[in-house]
């Protein structure tokens, strides 16, 4: 069966601790108000969001032969993601993020483990599972994958897949290798901070989001920048820009909103909709995902997303 989307990314639990979370070392024991073990990993959250929207999606990732790995696999498989290409590593443990949240600010402690996965063993275009689209996420948490990415994306292009990438933040802040990757992409999906930092890494120093997006789009891909409660904007290599105003809500938790946004955008494009419609789907998918703790719990089904768009249109009409 031909898949709609192949997601190449990361799958790990996020252990979200809430309350009095600032550690006091020296034999102290602090009692917390909450502990939630949630599906984490940008790739896994995007794949989960696509499955919720009824898109046929498989995740290419790695977990360890341990309880965390088994739990994560069972949960995303239960949501409809094809996990047959998730590798189970015998010699690495499943990566883990511990998220300390005091209600206002958060700090994340990450053990990479299997997040820094072995790259897929693709050597010819025929090795790539038949799919319409390849979405790549979190490359700067996956240095071994990043090193192989130009070659792997070249194979995917030769196999006829369209390609999107959401790098997320580069912890080193340099976005190394970006100039080589951009021409291989159809679509780049940074958030606002990432777009400015990426443009700066390519020599385009600006604090204007549209200028930064245009600077990136000049290297080839359509660039869609996520801008939190302000919505999103799209820039093309021909110099055109489309701005999509958001509808600010009071979020419960914005973790994974960007990956849910990506899922909404791809679902619309794969359904044959034009870019402006894809922006509206993406924004609604991102907004709805902020209604619950973690990235996946409040991701919309296609029916919920279409209802949200109808509601948004009605409110705009009344305004
Ligand atoms: N407070 C909010 N109100 C309405 N929509 C929001 C809000 N926060 C986020 N969104 C929606 O989610 C999208 C993605 O948010 P954001 O810009 O935080 O992405 P991100 O930083 O990539 O997130 P991630 O944590 O997944 O990497 C926004 O473009 C918007 O559509
Ligand atoms: Mg993001």
pLDDT bucket at 34, cuts 50 / 70 / 90: very high
**49 C-beta closer than 6 A to ligand 1:** no
User: What is the per-residue pLDDT for 106?
Assistant: 85
What is the spatial distance between Cα 252 and Cα 259, in angstroms, rounded to a whole number? Answer: 16
In a 13 Å sphere around the CA of 21, the CA atoms on its Cβ side amount to: 20
State pLDDT tens for residues 67-124.
999 999 999 999 999 999 999 999 999 999 999 988 778 899 999 999 999 999 999 9
State pLDDT tens for residues 7-18.
999 999 999 999
Name the average pLDDT for the chain: 95
State the Cα torsion 234-260-106-144 to the nearest 10°: -90
- What is the Å distance from ligand 1's center to 118 Cα? 30
Considering the domain boundaries, does residue 225 fall inside one? no
Considering the domain boundaries, does residue 86 fall inside one? yes
Considering the domain boundaries, does residue 36 fall inside one? yes
Crossing angle between the packed helical segments 42-52 and 67-78, to the nearest 10 degrees = 30
What is the spatial distance between Cα 9 and Cα 118, in angstroms, rounded to a whole number? Answer: 11
**Residue 29 CB partners (closer than 8 Å, separation 6+):** none
CA nearest ligand 1 atom 1, residue: 229
**256 C-beta closer than 6 A to ligand 1:** yes
Average pLDDT of the residues in 153-180: 95
Laid out side by side, the sheet with 96-101 consists of: 34-40, 12-18, 96-101, 106-111
Considering the domain boundaries, does residue 222 fall inside one? no
Considering the domain boundaries, does residue 90 fall inside one? yes
- What is the Å distance from ligand 2's center to 290 Cα? 13
Domain span at residue 36 reads 3-168+247-318
**40 C-beta closer than 6 A to ligand 1:** no
CA distances 156 to 6, 96, 218, 227, Å, are 10, 29, 22, 29
For residue 63, the domain's CATH number is 3.40.1190.20
User: What is the per-residue pLDDT for 318?
Assistant: 62
**94 C-beta closer than 6 A to ligand 1:** no
Q: 182 and 219 in contact (C-beta within 8 Å)?
A: yes
Please state the pTM of the whole predicted model.
0.96
Q: 273 and 252 in contact (C-beta within 8 Å)?
A: no
User: What is the per-residue pLDDT for 171?
Assistant: 87
User: What is the per-residue pLDDT for 313?
Assistant: 77
Q: Determine the atom of ligand 1 nearest the C-alpha atom of 283.
A: 31
Considering the domain boundaries, does residue 230 fall inside one? no
Considering the domain boundaries, does residue 94 fall inside one? yes
**101 C-beta closer than 6 A to ligand 1:** no
User: Which carries the bigger pLDDT value, residue 260 or residue 319?
Assistant: 260
For residue 319, is pLDDT > 70? no
pLDDT bucket at 316, cuts 50 / 70 / 90: confident
CA nearest ligand 1 atom 28, residue: 228
Domain count, the chain: 1
State pLDDT tens for residues 175-221.
999 999 999 999 999 999 999 999 999 998 999 999 999 999 999 99
**142 C-beta closer than 6 A to ligand 1:** no
Which of 139-143, 150-154, 157-161, 311-315 shows the lowest per-residue confidence on average (mean pLDDT)?
311-315
What is the spatial distance between Cα 286 and Cα 250, in angstroms, rounded to a whole number? Answer: 13
CA nearest ligand 1 atom 14, residue: 258
- What is the Å distance from ligand 2's center to 166 Cα? 7
Work out the percent of the chain whose per-residue pLDDT is above 70: 99
Average pLDDT of the residues in 154-182: 95
Report residue 62 as tokens: 């790695």
**254 C-beta closer than 6 A to ligand 1:** yes
* Burial label, 207 (beta-carbon count in 10 A; 0-12, 13-18, 19+): exposed
Considering the domain boundaries, does residue 301 fall inside one? yes
**290 C-beta closer than 6 A to ligand 1:** yes
What is the spatial distance between Cα 217 and Cα 76, in angstroms, rounded to a whole number? Answer: 33
Q: Determine the atom of ligand 1 nearest the C-alpha atom of 228.
A: 17
Coil vs helix vs strand at 28 = coil
For residue 285, is pLDDT > 80? yes
């Amino acid at each position: 069966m031909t898949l709609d989307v192949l997601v190449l990314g990361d799958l790990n639990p996020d252990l979200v601790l809430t309350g009095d979370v600032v550690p006091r070392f020296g034999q102290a024991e602090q009692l917390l108000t909450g502990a939630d073990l949630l599906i984490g990993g940008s790739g896994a959250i995007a794949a989960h969001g696509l499955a919720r929207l009824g898109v046929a999606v498989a995740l290419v990732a790695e977990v360890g032969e341990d309880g965390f790995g088994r739990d994560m696999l069972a949960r995303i498989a239960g949501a409809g993601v094809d996990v047959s290409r998730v590798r189970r590593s015998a010699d690495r443990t499943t990566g883990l993020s511990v998220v300390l949240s005091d209600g206002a600010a958060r700090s994340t402690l990450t053990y990479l483990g299997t997040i820094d996965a072995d790259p897929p063993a693709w050597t010819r275009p025929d090795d790539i599972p038949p799919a319409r689209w390849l979405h790549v996420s979190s490359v700067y948490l996956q240095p071994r994958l990043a090193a192989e990415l130009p070659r792997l994306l070249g194979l995917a292009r030769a196999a006829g897949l369209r390609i999107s990438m959401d790098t997320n933040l580069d912890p080193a802040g340099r976005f190394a290798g970006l100039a080589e990757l951009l021409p291989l992409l159809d679509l780049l999906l940074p958030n606002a901070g990432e777009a400015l930092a990426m443009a700066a890494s390519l020599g385009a120093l600006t604090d204007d989001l549209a200028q930064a997006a245009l600077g990136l789009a000049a290297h080839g891909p359509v660039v869609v920048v996520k801008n939190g409660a302000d919505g999103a904007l799209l820039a093309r290599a021909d110099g055109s820009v489309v701005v999509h105003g958001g509808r600010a809500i009071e979020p419960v938790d914005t973790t994974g909103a960007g990956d849910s946004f990506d899922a909404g955008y791809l679902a619309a494009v794969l359904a044959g909709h034009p870019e402006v419609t894809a922006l509206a789907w993406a924004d609604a998918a991102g907004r709805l995902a902020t209604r619950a703790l973690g990235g996946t719990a409040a991701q919309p089904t296609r029916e919920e997303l279409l209802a949200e768009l109808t509601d948004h249109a009605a409110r705009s009409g009344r305004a």
